[in-house]
Structure formats: structure tokens, C-alpha cells
Chain A
């Protein structure tokens, strides 16, 4: 984790101002998705629904359970997110990589700042 992100995480933990999103993989193609405010699934984490409390998260989980039963998504789990001025940022490196949907084939030197 770079210094900026380490600081973000530390500050978030201090301030306790993280929110949670539900992420999953779409069944048909495996692509990373997030539960959105309309009960659908979006590839763009910025459009995800964010829970600020357990009750909301539980309600979201209920929607996700139905989506699993309806064969829309698999492997649902909650992730921690910080809401920054420039948009939501996942707390873990792993989730920032998933949110980026990036490949690393390009001949450029690694170009996803994380």
C-alpha cells in the first residue's frame, strides 16, 4: 500500500468514517460488480450503494441473496470503502485492483497507482 493509502486507512480507522459496499462476480462472465441503489449490479464502484450501518448492509445482503438465487451473481461479500472528494476508494489493495478492472499486458511500466 502506498503512503497515501496507508494514511487513508489509518485516518479512516481513526475517524471510523468508512462505508461498506457489496461486491460479487457476475455469473455469466465472472466480471466484478457492485450492488447499486436500484437493486441492480454495476461494474463501476462509484455507482455502488454504500451502507453506513449494519441494518442497511443486512438489507442489501437480502437483495444480494436473491440475486444469487436468481443466478445473476456469485461470491457476494462486503468491502470497506472510503468516500473521498474524487469518489469512493476501496480500503484494501485487493479491492482497489478489482475495482480497476485492469490488465497488465500493456508494455507500459506498471501504470495503475495503488
Chain B
């Protein structure tokens, strides 16, 4: 992974010192709340429902064991012993104290971490395929470009006060595992006509109040021009994006209102007019960064292992975990393991300090020291030898981290909702728990098969409800929490936005409604059909009938 050089270290330490001074001035009365608020937000510190919440950047979801242990320490010493992994591959602490913030930032800087640009109308953390560098279907490792974008966008003088926040995602594999079509800019590494790799560039995707699937602005962009092209895309947005209406300020609205052709015209004109060479990365600098992302030296191993086979025969829980949570690796005899943060009964995405330490230890013992965060709120050990799986499984199971539900119904995404979030209209965590309880039986989940259920506590859609095969949105109807269900969303290559199926449900009726939807799918599916296939073939009618027919 990328290691800070002297410049990076000095820069982050200076930011900590600056914030220490700002916090002291706030506490001593030299700064008012109105003056201090934008400063704390620029360092990821929000005031939420119960307390301050600190959002820590995990660049493109990559963590070292040392970093994860430090996060565990911060959770234990400065919070209530746990943190929450978010749908942006970041970590949030929910109960930090303002007076401790400078020390927390120092502790983060000790392990090359910070909270810069985790809030505000700037370019945020780049989302990446969590299996980068490991996936069997990878064309090229996207992390190098994520790091290039991180360095380019950090305190970018022109793009630090955009009309609204800005999120970029990159996938370098055949399958989109970074939801690129739902980001302000989505980049897919693809092979060009001459066999060289470059980017397919999408723009204007997003969720929130007005969801859009990204539109293609360029089918192929030569890699070396990425920064200058991004520069032009951002510049056109910065110039024409609306600043008068927060609901219309994201680039998706600009692209929608201008039309993709006009937006493209503007971008291409800007790109041609400005000297590309001055912005694009010199090859030597690219090579310097790329050297940090050399994959571990994994010698190919046998693809079968007697121990694994024997355990699979005798232990259905292990067999289920193996089937769902061990993903194919590019090196024979290895796998990428999904460490589930979705044990039924727990808050999706939450990890205790003990859990973080356990994962850090196991990453060192079995995973070549690599840890990733998936936007679906799980952790991943990308490089594990197949023969180590029984031992790894047992160690994870002892910490409640071996639930074999990856990409099944129990693997639902859930935002913090009204249990924590100041913007929420309704709770999401207790609903998620009740749904998990209803579908706790692994056999039932296996029967249903892969399905994505996503839930948000308000229209801001941090829980990605729009892209859920089943989406749940909490709304406030005259003081009552009500849950609107959408069906047919997808975050993958066939990206789509779910459609509202009918009137919302009260909290206690949601698990029944999900059960009805799932049962309807099972009753109607043709062989081999996923939920989405069945939905797309049949449309809303059978689901509506099942949910509301008797009303």
C-alpha cells in the first residue's frame, strides 16, 4: 500500500497542529460556533444526534493491520469501543469528544491516516473495488489511480469549494464492484482497440433525492490523460453547477439539465483549450506510486485442499461461508475472504475494537497483511491461502465474524439512520435487525440466493436504497416512521434505480413485507433466475398483488 513520504507526513502533522489551535480557540471563546463549524467539518467532525461523529478517510478502502489496530485503540480510548464502516469505505466514530479531537488526529497521523476531505464540498475519498490486486477478473489494479486522484485532489486549490460534494469511483475488473454508475464520476478500466488499457468515463450518477445512473461521456480515455480530463470535467461543473439550491447542486443535475452531449462538448472544449501536459502525471511519478501497489509475492498453490474438502463435507456452516465469503483470486490456491460485519443481531457495518484487533491479527497471520473495506460494509482479507481457510474460519467464528451471508439477504446495507444521524427521518438499524432476525436461517437465505437489500433512514440515500434489488427508505409521515419499499435497483453493470412498489409500511410490518416480496420471487422465478431477472421479466404486478392485493 501507499506509504507517506516526508512531504505527506509534514502536511498531515501541520493539519493536526492547525486543528489543535482551532479547537483551543473555540473552547476559549476566540472562535464562535459559526466560525468553527466549517473548520471542524473540514476535518471530518460532525455534530450528530447524540454526540460528535468523526469520519476517518480510508483511502479507497485499504487498511494495514497497524492502521486497523490504531483505529481499535482510538475506539477504545476515545469512543465507546466500536466504530462504523460506511458505504463510502470510511470509518465513523459516533461518540468522540471535541476536547479529544486533536489527540485523535495525532493518533491517526501516527499511522498515516487523517480526516481531511471527508466532509465539505470537495472531492471525497475515491471508492474502489475492494478486491483490487486480487480479483480473478481484474484487468488492472485501480488503486494506483485512486492514489493519483487522492494526491491530485487533496487541497486542490480550484476544486476545494465546489457547488457540492464530489465522489469518484474506479473499478479495474470485468465486474463492477465499486458502484461506479452511482458516482459523480465513474471510471472503468477497459481495454482499448489496440489492446492498451484506458478508462471508460461515466458522469452524473448518484443517489439522494434525485437518483441517476451515470452517463457515458467517453467510451475510452487514454490513461495518461486522466488528470487533465478530470480537471476539465470538474472545471465545467465548478463553473456551471448550481450554488443557489442545495438540492440541485450535484453534478448529476447539471448533466441531466444540460444533457450529456452539451456537457461533453463543454468538457472537450476545455480539455482541448488547456495545456494537458501541465496537469497529466509524468510517467516517472506514476511509476513511483505504482511501486507501492506491487501485489504480494504469492507462489501458486494447489487449488484443492483435503482439509478444506473434509471440513466442507462435515460442517454446513463452514460450507456456506466458503460458498459465499471466499471469492476467486487471480493466483491459483488463494482466495479473498469476506469478513462479515453482518452477524444477525448486530448493527450492519459496526465493528468493536476487539473485532478490529482480531481482523488485524488474522490479516497478518493468514492474509499477507492486507485488509480492505467493502462499500457493502464488510471487511475483506484479499490474499488468503485456500488451505488456511478452516483455521481462519475458526478464528473469525470465535469473534462473531464468520457469518456466511456475503451477498445474501442478511448482508444488507444499512445507514445509521435516526439512531445516530441528525438528518434522519426514521430509524434503519432496528429495522435491519428485525429483517436479519426474520431471515436468520442460513438455509432460507441460501434458498433465496444472491440478493441486495439496502436501507436508508432518509432521502440522502447513504444506505444506497435506490440501488438495492430491494430498497427500503425511511420517511417521516406526520411524526410516524414509515418505510417505502423500492424494487429492481442494481449497483452493478446492469445498474438501475428501484421503483417504488406502493404505499409505505409501518416499522413492524416491514419484515412481513420483505418476506412477501421474497416469497413472491421464489414462487415465480424460472430456473437460475436472480431476483432482478424475475423482476425484470415480470414487472411490478405480482409483487404489488402479493403486498397489497388483499387491502
Q: Size range of the interface on A? A: 20 to 34
Near A by CB (< 8 A), chain B positions 410-437 give 418-419, 424, 426-427, 429-430, 433-434, 437
Among B48, B429, B433, the one with the most A-chain Cβ atoms within 10 Å of its Cβ is B433
Do B97 and A28 have beta carbons less than 8 Å apart?
Answer: yes
Q: B521 at the A/B interface (Cβ < 8 Å)?
A: no
Q: Which of B49-57, B278-286, B401-409 contacts A (4 or more CB under 8 A)?
A: B49-57
**Among candidates B33, B49, B418, residue contacting A74 with C-beta atoms closer than 8 Å:** B33
Is A30 touching B98 in the complex (CB atoms < 8 A)?
yes
User: B340-371, CB under 8 A of A: which get 1 and which 0?
Assistant: 00010111001010000000000000000000
Q: Mark A52-85, 1 if CB is under 8 A from B, else 0.
A: 0000000000000000100100110000000000
* Cα(A2)–Cα(B346), bound, Å: 22
> Taking the complex as formed, is B479 at the interface, i.e. its CB lies under 8 A from any CB of chain A?
yes
With both chains docked as a complex, state the minimum distance between the C-beta of A94 and any C-beta of chain B, in angstroms: 6
In the complex, whether B258 has a CB less than 8 A from a CB of chain A is no
B463-508 at interface with A (beta carbon < 8 Å): 479-481, 508
Complex CA distance for A12 and B358, rounded to whole angstroms: 50
> Is the beta-carbon distance between B80 and A103 smaller than 8 angstroms?
yes
B29 at the interface (CB under 8 A from A): yes
In the complex, what distance in Å separates the CA atom of A94 from the CA atom of B82?
22
Residue of B nearest to A29 (CB): B97
Given contacts A25-B47, A104-B347, A105-B347, contact A93 B427 (CB under 8 A): yes
Q: Answer whether residue B325 sits at the interface, using C-beta atoms and an 8 A cutoff.
A: no
Contact partners of A92 in chain B: CB under 8 A:
479
C-alpha gap A27/B97 in the complex (Å): 9
- Residues of A12-68 contacting chain B, CB below 8 A: 25, 27-32, 68
Residues of A within 8 A of B346 (CB): 105, 107
Contact status A105-B80, CB under 8 Å: yes
Task: Check B52 against A30 for contact (C-beta < 8 Å).
Answer: yes
Query: In the complex, which residue of chain B has the Cβ closest to the Cβ of A110?
Result: B430
Question: B436's closest neighbor in chain A, by CB?
Answer: A109
Residue of A at shortest CB range from B94? Answer: A103
Is A4 in contact with chain B by the CB < 8 A criterion?
no
Check B50–A101 contact: CB distance below 8 A.
yes
User: Smallest distance from the beta carbon of B410 to chain A beta carbons, Å?
Assistant: 14
Nearest B residue (CB) for A6: B480
Identify which of B81, B96, B345, B429 contacts A107 (C-beta below 8 A).
Answer: B345
Q: B418's contact among A25, A27, A94, by CB below 8 Å, is which?
A: A94
Given A1-B481, A105-B352, residue A29 in contact with residue B433 (CB < 8 A): no
Residue of B nearest to A68 (CB): B33
The reply to whether the CB of A9 lies closer than 8 angstroms to some CB of chain B is yes
Other-chain contact of A105, B82, B97, B480, B508 (Cβ < 8 Å): B82
For residue B303, CB closer than 8 A to chain A, the reply is no
Return the chain B residue nearest A75 by Cβ.
B47
Query: Are B480 and A104 within 8 A (Cβ)?
Result: no
Instruction: Give the secondary structure class of A's interface.
Output: loop
Q: Which residues of B sit under 8 angstroms from A98, Cβ to Cβ?
A: 49-50
- Given A29-B99, A30-B51, A93-B481, are A109 and B437 also a contact pair (CB < 8 Å)? yes
Q: Decide if A86 is an interface residue (CB 8 Å cutoff).
A: no
Complex Cα distance, B272 from A45, in Å, reads 62
Interface size class of B (residues with CB under 8 A): 35 or more
- Which A residues are in CB contact (< 8 Å) with B343? 107
The answer to whether B27 has its CB under 8 Å from any CB of chain A is: yes
Q: Which residue of B lies closest to A74 (CB)?
A: B33
In the bound complex, CA of A102 to CA of B49 (Å): 11
| Shortest Cβ gap from B529 to chain A (Å) | 33
Dominant SS among interface residues on chain B: mixed
Residues of B within 8 A of A75 (CB): 47
Per the bound structure, the CA–CA distance linking A1 and B96 in Å amounts to 29
Is there an interface contact between B480 and A1, defined as CB atoms closer than 8 Å? yes
Chain A residues with CB under 8 Å of B345's CB are 107-109
- B430 vs chain A, min Cβ distance (A): 4
Across the two chains, which residue of chain B brings its CB closest to A102? B419
A30:B419 contact, CB within 8 angstroms? no
Q: Are B430 and A94 in contact (CB under 8 A)?
A: no
Contact with A along B227-261 (1 / 0, CB 8 A): 00000000000000000000000000000000000
CB distance from B509 to the nearest CB of A (A): 12
A71/B29 in contact, CB under 8 A: yes
Whole-angstrom distance between the Cβ of A41 and the nearest chain B Cβ? 14
Contact A109 B434 (CB under 8 A): yes
A14 CB, min distance to chain B CBs, angstroms: 14
A103 — which chain B residues lie within 8 A by C-beta? Answer: 80, 82, 94-95
Which B residues are CB-close (under 8 A) to A68?
Answer: 33
Cβ contacts under 8 Å, A2 to chain B:
508
Contacts of A32 in B (CB 8 A): 49-51
A110 in contact with B50 given A1-B480, A97-B419, A103-B94 (CB within 8 Å):
no
**Which chain A residues border B350 with CB–CB below 8 Å?**
104-105
Return the CB mask of B83-109 against A: 1 if under 8 Å, else 0: 000000000001111110000000000
Contact indicator B434/A93 (Cβ below 8 Å): no
Closest beta carbon of chain B to A72's beta carbon, Å? 11
Which residues from A are CB-within-8-Å of B434? 109-110
B419 touches A29 (CB 8 A): no
B88-141 residues with Cβ-Cβ distance < 8 A to A are 94-99
Cβ contacts under 8 Å, B98 to chain A: 27-30
| CA A105 to CA B83, docked complex, whole Å | 9
CB contacts (< 8 Å) of B437 on chain A: these are 109
B29, B418, B508: the one contacting A97 at CB < 8 Å is B418
Listed by A's residue number, 17 A-B pairs whose Cβ atoms lie within 8 Å are A25-B47, A30-B52, A30-B96, A30-B98, A71-B26, A92-B479, A93-B427, A94-B49, A94-B424, A97-B50, A98-B49, A98-B50, A105-B346, A108-B345, A109-B437, A110-B434, A112-B430
Instruction: Identify 14 new A-B residue pairs, CB closer than 8 A, beyond the known A30-B48, A68-B33, A94-B424.
Output: A1-B479, A1-B480, A27-B26, A29-B51, A30-B50, A30-B52, A74-B47, A97-B419, A105-B80, A105-B350, A107-B343, A109-B433, A110-B433, A112-B430
| Nearest 3 Cβ contacts at the A-B interface | A110-B430, A29-B97, A30-B52
